[in-house]
Amino acid sequence: MARNILILGASYGSLLGTKLLMAGHNVTLVCRKKTAELINREGTEVRIKLRDEPTHRSIFSRDLPGKLDATSPDQVDVSRYDLVGLAMQEPQYTNHTIRVLMVKIAVAKLPCLSIMNMPPLPYLKRIPALEGMDLEEAYTNAQVWERFTPGLVTLCSPDPQAFRPPDEEANVLHVGLPTNFKASAFADEKHTRLLRELEADIDAVTLDGQDVPVKLKVFDSLFVPLAKWSMLLTGNYRCITPQEPRPIRDAVHGDLDLSQSIYDHVDAVARKLGADAQDQVPFAKYAKAAESLLKPSSAARAVAAGAPFIERVDLLVKLISHQLDMPNAEIDRTVQVVDQKLSEKIVSGGSGAQ
């Protein structure tokens, strides 16, 4: 049965959207009016490399069995949808029209699957050790999440790496690292069954008889997506330096012993919250993947471009680690550098899109 999925964010969201379209489901991408007009006119193009093929393939939405449309936030009818995907960067949810839409989604009690790096606050409240912690400081505007029922919000680790090529239109996405989306179950088994249905449908898709990478994997554990925190704190945020941004590869491999110590510490924080070792990704596997990440992280590129706000998983992990009495000097230093770079942008009047 074709499901109707609403995805907030047409850039990274188009990757999950394309996988759903390939599986025969219908997708609406929420984005700026100009981008929506482009997508409704031309569709989307996601470039992805199949296993053992030397070049990327272009997958066009117009060729897929599912139906795609795009709309601005003010035009969304939430009653049409079975599931909402949250695929924008966290600061973007403070936009007025997005906030109005978020209220409608919360009131409609729609299950929400986040593929943000920054976990939605309601999801964190599902973890007993975090439920009473003071974490709002890490969010651009924590009030966005106030109306959401925690059990209706789950997190999907956004492990696949993808970007919009700078010289291309806004409907094009290039997948650099085609790993899997790893989602935690919902509180309600009915909603988890929907996720598992989508997981099976995506898994069954082939292209010219070949398997297509970037799967949706569903886990019972709430802690599987938290494995991404170790990667973000070791690589992505350390791309931000007092000078120019550096590639993820250099952030990780510039001092491998230091990188492993940061990674292991964040893993230990997750285990203190309740994670099991099997929920986590070994450092060696991450370090290997980082060898191919030759660009600065999206957070570092946003700061360099003048963005006054970015997703602050670095600050979130710092707040959690301090409240667990597990502070780490390197994490604190990373937060200090990011704070300094962002304050420079604000003082100088810089601005930029995420």
245 phi-psi bin (left φ>0, alpha ψ -120 to 50, beta other): beta
What is the distance of C-alpha 216 from the center of its chain? 13
In this prediction, residue 32 carries a pLDDT of 95
Q: Determine the Cα–Cα distance for residues 155 and 70; give it in Å rounded to an integer.
A: 23
Q: Determine the Cα–Cα distance for residues 217 and 207; give it in Å rounded to an integer.
A: 19
Q: Who contacts 327 (Cβ-Cβ below 8 Å, separation ≥6)?
A: 318, 321
Q: Closest Cα to residue 144, out of 120, 116, 112?
A: 120
In this prediction, residue 177 carries a pLDDT of 85
**How many helices (H) and strands (E) would you count in the chain?**
13, 14
Average pLDDT, stretch 286-313? 93
* More confident: 352 or 35: 35
Confidence label for 199 from pLDDT (cuts 50, 70 and 90)? very high
**148 has pLDDT over 60:** yes
Average pLDDT, stretch 72-79? 97
pTM (2 d.p.): 0.94
User: To 5 degrees, how large is the angle CA 61–CA 66–CA 71?
Assistant: 70
Which H or E run contains 97?
helix 96-107
pLDDT in tens, 238-259: 999 999 999 999 999 999 999 9
Collapse the DSSP code of 162 into the 3-class scheme (helix H, G, I; strand E, B; otherwise coil) and give the result: strand
Per the DSSP assignment, residues forming a β-bridge with 64 are none
Q: Determine the Cα–Cα distance for residues 6 and 29; give it in Å rounded to an integer.
A: 6
Q: Closest Cα to residue 205, out of 4, 48, 97, 334?
A: 48
Average pLDDT, stretch 6-27? 97
pLDDT in tens, 28-44: 999 999 999 999 999 99
Amino acid at 22: M
% of the chain with per-residue pLDDT over 70: 97
In this prediction, residue 351 carries a pLDDT of 40
In this prediction, residue 166 carries a pLDDT of 86
The span from the first CA to the last CA of the chain, in angstroms, equals 35
In this prediction, residue 350 carries a pLDDT of 44
Confidence label for 158 from pLDDT (cuts 50, 70 and 90)? confident
**272 has pLDDT over 80:** yes
Q: How many residues make up the chain in this entry?
A: 354
User: To 5 degrees, how large is the angle CA 23–CA 161–CA 172?
Assistant: 65
Longest CA span, the chain: 55
Locate tokens 């000097």: which residue?
329
In this prediction, residue 344 carries a pLDDT of 84
Q: Determine the Cα–Cα distance for residues 280 and 226; give it in Å rounded to an integer.
A: 8
- The mean predicted confidence, pLDDT, of the chain is 95
Per-residue three-class SS string for 299-332:
HHHHHHCCCCCCCCHHHHHHHHHHHCCCCCHHHH
Q: Determine the Cα–Cα distance for residues 240 and 132; give it in Å rounded to an integer.
A: 31
In this prediction, residue 345 carries a pLDDT of 65
**51 has pLDDT over 60:** yes
